[in-house]
DNA sequence: CATAAAACTAACCAATCGGTTAGATAAGTA
DNA sequence: TACTTATCTAACCGATTGGTTAGTTTTATG
């Protein structure tokens, strides 16, 4: 009945995600997105509504790509060693794709301010909360710890993770390793 | 012999710094800067050459404002407790001015990529290096530690500090406190 | 008081921003 | 094959970007 799309939305959104990941939301222009995604502005707006809409889909795409890390963490029976493995796995993940990009969610959290789009803030809060809960859940299983200590250490670990995300963008591998080893000396 | 400036450069650069601090480099426009600094674009360019030049002066201004923190750290005889105090002092400093702005240097490090202005990258590297050396120097004074351990722990602390800087932008006070307490459990 | 030099205002610049739209093109269906 | 409908290209939109410049105002000095 009508012409068919010459592109696959999942494919082009991943290309957009990689561009946002490398450059951040503001610095990435529609012009750059057209070029990277290989489609016209018209098609981008037809599929995603706005730059913000495309960015939200890119965030979802990113979270899909790192879901395997979170699954490994949540299904781990290694206790705190499993959390440590998550830290190392994350570094490896950022190096696999292209060194120095950090975590798209953390990068976004660092970029935005209070007046930013509510949905974006919501996605960031949800993701951060989910990782923190995974940490807390593993800590809780360690029966030598009471709930107050679990909460304190979960706060510590989620902020330590935020620091690691930023640090992968401008610290050397050996420094990241020294960092992680010391993070897990204290718990 | 000639007309005199109606503004003080140190005064207006501090206003610019506060705007950059709140919004980041890219998001802060010349229009916003004109309004905040209370002077015309012409005067900004006459005094600072470019947006980049103004930003570099803003970075210097910021570093001047937090120099007292670094002085306190470097002149401390509290050992590791002095480093811990630096972490808490930093939080207090970010709250004094306006909550949720983090550290301008860290914010900038998070915003830029490899292609950014060389001088800006240099200032960030110098400042980060200076703080790291202050940490290392204090750790070294503790004669129970060998040099390898000092380097490892200095890496840990400087990345922990980067994490704290970001975290002050979107974590609650109690979580920051839990974080710092745990950071210093491990060393 | 006249003059020279710097500081000011405000209009202006090309380029780019996110976003829209008119018209050409393609394809499933009647 | 004709028609309908969605997708495509490409020109276009007003607003804003960082930056410049012509011309007016101020002021210390000769």
Domains, chain A, in order of start with CATH, read: 9-62 (1.10.10.60), 66-183 (no CATH)
State residue A1's pLDDT score: 65
Q: How confident is the model at residue A187 (pLDDT cuts 50, 70, 90)?
A: confident
**B27, burial (CB in 10 Å: exposed 0-12, middle 13-18, buried 19+):** middle
pLDDT tens digits for range A34-88: 999 999 999 999 999 999 999 999 999 999 999 999 999 999 999 999 999 999 9
CB-side neighbour CA atoms (13 Å) of B143 = 0
DSSP track, B77-119:
-STHHHHHHHHHHHHHHHHHH-TT---HHHHHHHH--TTS-HH
State residue A143's pLDDT score: 67
Q: pTM of the entire structure?
A: 0.94
Mutate to test the interface with B, among A170, A177, A181 (most CBs of B within 10 A): A170
Q: How confident is the model at residue B99 (pLDDT cuts 50, 70, 90)?
A: low
Any idea which nucleotide's C1' is nearest the CA of B53? Answer: D18
Longest dimension (CA), chain A: 66
Of all residues in chain A, the percent with pLDDT exceeding 90 is: 87
pLDDT tens digits for range B41-69: 999 999 999 999 999 999 999 999 999 99
Give the closest residue to D21 (Cα–C1′).
B42
Q: What rounded mean pLDDT belongs to chain A?
A: 94
State residue A154's pLDDT score: 97
pLDDT tens digits for range A108-122: 999 999 889 999 999
**What gap in Å lies between CA B162 and CA B176, rounded to an integer?**
13
Answer with the residue of higher pLDDT: B7 or A6.
B7
Any idea which nucleotide's C1' is nearest the CA of A6? Answer: D7
State residue B1's pLDDT score: 66
**What gap in Å lies between CA B159 and CA B167, rounded to an integer?**
12
Cβ <8 Å between B100 and A111: no
Number of H helices, E strands in chain A: 10, 0
Answer with the residue of higher pLDDT: B114 or B145.
B114
Q: How confident is the model at residue A142 (pLDDT cuts 50, 70, 90)?
A: confident
Q: B167, B162, B164, B160: which is closest to B187 by C-alpha?
A: B160
Residue B154 gets which letter from DSSP? H
- pLDDT higher than 70, residue B93: yes
Lowest mean pLDDT among A96-105, A159-168, A175-184: A96-105
Residues of B engaging A, defined by a Cβ cutoff of 8 Å: 22-24, 26-27, 100, 106-107, 109-111, 113-114, 124, 151-153, 155-156, 158-160, 162-164, 166-167, 169-171, 174-176, 178-179, 181-187
Cβ <8 Å between B183 and A156: yes
* Average of per-residue pLDDT across B91-101: 84
């Amino acid at each position: 009945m009508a012409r068919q799309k010459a592109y696959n939305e999942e494919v082009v959104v991943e290309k957009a995600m990689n561009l946002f990941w490398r450059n951040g939301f503001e610095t990435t222009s529609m012009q750059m997105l057209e070029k990277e995604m290989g489609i016209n502005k018209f098609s981008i707006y037809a599929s995603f509504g706005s730059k913000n809409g495309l960015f939200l889909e890119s965030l979802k795409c990113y979270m899909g790509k790192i879901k395997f890390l979170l699954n490994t963490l949540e299904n781990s029976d290694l206790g705190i060693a499993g959390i440590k493995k998550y830290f190392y796995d994350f570094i490896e993940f950022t190096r696999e794709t292209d060194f120095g990009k950090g975590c798209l969610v953390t990068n976004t959290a660092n970029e935005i301010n209070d007046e930013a789009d509510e949905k974006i803030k919501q996605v960031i809060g949800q993701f951060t909360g989910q990782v923190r809960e995974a940490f807390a859940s593993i800590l809780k299983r360690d029966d030598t710890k009471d709930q107050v200590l679990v909460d304190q250490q979960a706060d510590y670990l989620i902020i330590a993770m935020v620091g690691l995300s930023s640090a992968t963008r401008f610290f050397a591998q050996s420094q990241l390793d020294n960092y992680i080893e010391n993070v897990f000396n204290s718990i």
